[in-house]
Amino acid sequence: MPVPPSSGQTITDQVFFRLGGRVPTTLLIDYVNKALSTISGAASYVWDVKTALVVIPTNTLELSTFDADIDIGSDISITNANGIPIQRVDENDLLSSQAAQYVGINPLMFNNWYIAQSSVAAPGKIVFTPTLLNTTILITYNVLPPVLTYGGSPLLRWTQQWMDDLLIDGAEFEVKRIMNFEGWQALEQRFIAKLQDARVVFSSQRKDTGTLEEAQVGATGV
Amino acid sequence: MAYRNFLQLQSEVFRQLNSFREKAEPWWVQAALNDSLLEICQFHNWNFLIDRYDMALAQSYSTGTVSVAEGSSVVTLTGGVWDTAWFNKKILMTGSNMEKEVDHFSSTTTAVLRYPWAFPSIVDVGYFLYQDEYPVPMQNGRDILILNPTLRYRLIKLDRYSAEDRTVWARFTFGPSPTHYSDGGADVTTTSPTYNQARIKLWPPVTGASGLILLFFKTPTILLNDTDTTVLPNEFEEVLIKLALYRVRRKIGSPNWMDDKTFAMQALMQFREKQNVQPSYDYSVQFQAYPFWDPYATDAALGVWPGIIR
């Protein structure tokens, strides 16, 4: 096994080896990326967390220009510059969030935000309430994983070898399923069980250790 | 005096709401803190709320003559100059004991009555413009007393019914300084800078400018900016935080929201007790009443404290 952080080439070579060289690496890299995407979509991981101090011109943050790699499906936390959290709301809370509807509040700070479709580019934009001029916010978010190539870069962000193994399993079982190779079902089960463990241990939303969920890590024995 | 500023109070509430199911918007917390601050301040006549307002009594005015048509609300002045910044005035016109409230002065020679003149028209008669109701920066019922600093006496306060009843035969007796006061509702003129502020009614109304001192329990200033602080003593701030948490958790529907309120109410009652029995008092609370009713002396079997033992 390669020493992490691994590249697309080292992971693909491992998959190539497990498949007995029957599928070319130029095809395998796609399945490595697919498995990586599945792993990434399962949780918000600590190695994907980024923080930025951003000035909002009025009330909109265009994500394509801010950070096109932002994962809008993962946890996003935003505070005002003074540390007061800006609350994420859904559509039915927006109409009750106008400053004129409140008394005894400071209207010169952001109260809430939501993600909306962007007219500029994907993945969308963050819209704040109320509209203010050049207001600084602190945003913590997760980014999508890198798209691996069959080469030395980019590298994966984790440094755990068993995460490499998880990724290799994910790519291997998918190729075997498509090629109808024997044993892919057992491999899929192993991948899913290990993925559950990864979600618990490396979640960026994990706050305390020793939870019941964490005690079950590895309990499946696969 | 304050232990925490507005930002620190908010942050403490957010820290205690730090769970996935208890997400609150900043404005919820800010409004809850200010509502709770008002609740604490109205819970008792706290000694830290004592404040003073110097009431400026306005000189009466009677220069020139006035005319008003039957059914009209407009009184016109000849030979004098009124001030459009005057509010809460009353006008008494010669030949009638029906004094009328002036809503506002639309010009220096035109007064608009609150209710129209329902009597036969009068032309160029003498008049007397005076003020016996004064807006004060206080909520009704939070007054302690009014002092006349010049003549060194306190005004007697009567309820509005008694005040009107006892002065009904002397409604237009004017004097150098009032001896009685009563609640005067609120300023009703929408264009007045003191619209909806509480008013004090004085008797007898004055003819010359003078001053009185109003002592009262003030309403706290609402918190707005991060660095704003409350008027509360330090130990009240945990009560403020708990009451704000109670309001936010009740809104969210979070379990145990009543615990916060129970804690806050018990603390408030303890603070009230502490203030009422502070050792610097010569007597106990309600010592202004006679005979001296002492709720802390009821165990002395008399029930009513007879007063100073000489």
pLDDT band at A1 (very low <50, low <70, confident <90, very high): low
B174 Cβ contact partners less than 8 Å away, ≥ 6 residues apart: B60, B130, B204, B205, B206, B207
Considering only CB atoms, A82 lies closest to which of B7, B27, B33, namely: B7
Size of interface A-B (CB pairs under 8 A): 52
Whether pLDDT at B118 is above 80: yes
Q: What's the average model confidence in pLDDT over B87-97? A: 93
Q: Which pLDDT belongs to residue B95?
A: 84
Lowest mean pLDDT among A13-22, A36-45, B92-101, B250-259: B250-259
Instruction: Choose from A103, A105, A136 for mutation: most chain B CBs within 10 A.
Output: A105
How close does chain B come to A98, measured CA to CA in Å?
10
Domain ranges of chain A: 8-45+158-206, 47-142
Lowest mean pLDDT among B73-77, B164-168, B181-185, B253-257: B253-257
Residue in chain B nearest A207 by alpha carbon: B19
Domain ranges of chain B: 6-48+221-274, 65-130, 132-208
Residue in chain B nearest A89 by alpha carbon: B25
Residue in chain B nearest A80 by alpha carbon: B26
How close does chain B come to A154, measured CA to CA in Å?
35
How close does chain B come to A147, measured CA to CA in Å?
32
ipTM beyond 0.95? no
How close does chain A come to B14, measured CA to CA in Å?
8
- Over chain B, what HEC string results? CCCCEHHHHHHHHHHHCCCCCCCCCHHHHHHHHHHHHHHHHHHCCCHHHEEEEEEEECCCECCCEEEECCCCCEEEEECCCCCCCCCCEEEEECCCCCCEEEEEEEECCEEEECCCCCCCCEEEECEEEECCEEECCCCCCCEEEEEECCCCEECEECCHHHHHHHCHHHCCCCECCCCEEEEEEECCCCCCCCCCCEEEEEECCECCCEEEEEEEECCCCCCCCCCCECCCCHHHHHHHHHHHHHHHHHHHCCCCHHHHHHHHHHHHHHHHHHHHCCCCCCCCCCCCCCCCCCCCCHHHCCCCCCCCCC
Q: Which pLDDT belongs to residue B257?
A: 87
How close does chain B come to A213, measured CA to CA in Å?
17
Contact B34 A104 (CB under 8 A): yes
Whether pLDDT at B232 is above 90: yes
Residues in chain B within 8 Å Cβ distance of A99: 27
Contact B222 A85 (CB under 8 A): no
Return the bridge partners of B211, or none: B56
Question: Which has the higher per-residue pLDDT, B21 or B17?
Answer: B17
SS3 A135: strand
Q: What's the average model confidence in pLDDT over B13-38? A: 90
Percent of residues, chain A, with pLDDT higher than 70: 91
pLDDT band at A124 (very low <50, low <70, confident <90, very high): very high
Question: Which has the higher per-residue pLDDT, B255 or B179?
Answer: B179
Contact A97 B25 (CB under 8 A): yes
Q: What's the average model confidence in pLDDT over B108-125? A: 96
Whether pLDDT at B301 is above 50: no
Contact B27 A84 (CB under 8 A): no
Q: How many residues does chain B have?
A: 310
Residue in chain B nearest A87 by alpha carbon: B25
pTM of the entire structure? 0.83
Q: Which pLDDT belongs to residue A206?
A: 62
Considering only CB atoms, A85 lies closest to which of B14, B30, B35, namely: B14
Q: What pLDDT digit, counting tens, does each position of A9-37 carry?
A: 999 999 999 999 999 999 999 999 999 99
Whether pLDDT at B285 is above 70: no
Q: Share the mean pLDDT of chain B.
A: 90
d(CA A156, CA A47): 10
| DSSP H/E element including A40 | helix A25-41
Q: What's the average model confidence in pLDDT over B90-100? A: 92
pLDDT band at A200 (very low <50, low <70, confident <90, very high): confident
Considering only CB atoms, A84 lies closest to which of B10, B23, B224, namely: B10
Considering only CB atoms, A104 lies closest to which of B10, B35, B226, namely: B35
Q: What's the average model confidence in pLDDT over B274-301? A: 59
Residue with tokens 């028209």: B121
Whether pLDDT at B106 is above 80: yes
Q: Which pLDDT belongs to residue A218?
A: 59
Whether pLDDT at A93 is above 90: no
Question: Which has the higher per-residue pLDDT, B2 or B207?
Answer: B207
